[in-house]
Structure 1
Amino acid sequence: SSHLGDCPICCLPLSLDIQKSTLMPCCSNIICNGCDYANLIRELKGSLELKCAFCRHPRISDEELELNLMKRVEANDSAAMCQIGGYRRNEGDYVTAFQHYSKAAELGDAHAHYLFTQMYYNGEGVKKDEKKEVYHLEHAAIGGHPTARHNLGCIEGGNGRTDRAVKHWIMASKLGEDAALSSLRSFYSKGFVGKEDFASALRGHQAA
């Protein structure tokens, strides 16, 4: 599984496509859309109260969403910190976003480290800093973040370290990262990737 882990209901690996899963604001668990939808259909057919498929907390309204997420932040929930940080970042409040990401990263959240890389790359509230960008990419990659792993490969490839780039892309491909597989395919066509390595990465990508 990637940094997202498995759906706590069906125990299948969560898709990297964020449109295929839902963060439950009541408990900050990420549930695949299949399980969320199945639970919703069951409740609607039975005229039952709508509740979270995991913790069974009553469904939270849009008006209550951020308030409940802040409660999760106060409980040191890193997923909620990333979510609130994202809200503030979208509003242009980079200082508050940075604070939330920092706390989440301290708690070991791989996605928080990846979000840091975007801020350092774009210069959002901080000076553009490639060293810090790479530092957080490495931590995110170690935590299983496939996009961070792919980006590390791109940096290595850009610096002429082809072998290291290929290793990063193989690992990211096996976690389901489409961009990494595309990079591998390009290098394979140029003779930089062996047939067996590419085939192994392709099988891993298909199984992810």
Structure 2
Amino acid sequence: MTESIFGITEPDLAAAIKQWQNGDYKSCFAVIERYAQADHAEAQAILGASYATEHWGLGKDREKAVYWLERATVNGHPTAPLNLALLFDSTNLLVGADTARDDVAERNYKLAFERCKIGAEGGNVALMAALANCYASGWGTAPDQELAKIWRAKAVAAGYKGQP
């Protein structure tokens, strides 16, 4: 079995995710979509993020982005709730002034914060950085710049290479 940075042991999915990370979206779409349809949370989160940001060359499709991010959230993906909340928060094209959707976004921020905190405290480097962003922006918690700095520093010290 092959293992990717996401802890995925399915060789074809691990290879597809590596292709996706390298920007080769068309080559990996069918494999990721198949796993997403089979309720694989990581594949669902990738599809949701991709539809939100125009990957695959399909253009933005906010309804599909919401659909896949909601499924990934239900299936326990640690950062899908944060991505879903950000999607609701960043656009009026999909949610307008719909109070129900605003409530969903707030619940997703809280859920994302809780999951990020558990994962960060458990040593997940990407979730350390996500938790720092939650604290810095007040997503799902009261803003706390000091805790944001602490978690950014922990993420970087643990090898985080992204934008802290």
Match of 1:109 among 77, 81, 86: 77
Match of 1:153 among 126, 132, 135: 135
RMSD: 3.7
- Runs ≥4 residues deviating over 6 A: 29-32
Query: What is residue 67 of structure 2 aligned with on the other side?
Result: 99
Query: What is residue 119 of structure 1 aligned with on the other side?
Result: 87
Q: Is the 8 A contact 1:25 1:68 kept in 2?
A: no
Gaps of 5+ in 1: 1-6, 15-23, 33-60, 177-204
Question: Is residue 2:54 matched to residue 1:86?
Answer: no
Higher helix proportion: 2
TM-score for both structures, normalised by structure 1: 0.48
Q: Is the 8 A contact 1:114 1:140 kept in 2?
A: yes
Q: Is the 8 A contact 2:135 2:145 kept in 1?
A: yes
Larger Rg: 1
Report deviation, 1:112: 1.0
Secondary structure class of the residue paired with 2:76: coil
Gaps of 5+ in 2: 19-23, 120-126, 160-164
Question: Is residue 2:111 matched to residue 1:139?
Answer: yes
Query: What is residue 13 of structure 2 aligned with on the other side?
Result: 27
Report deviation, 1:207: 3.7
Percent identity at matched positions? 14
Report deviation, 1:139: 2.3
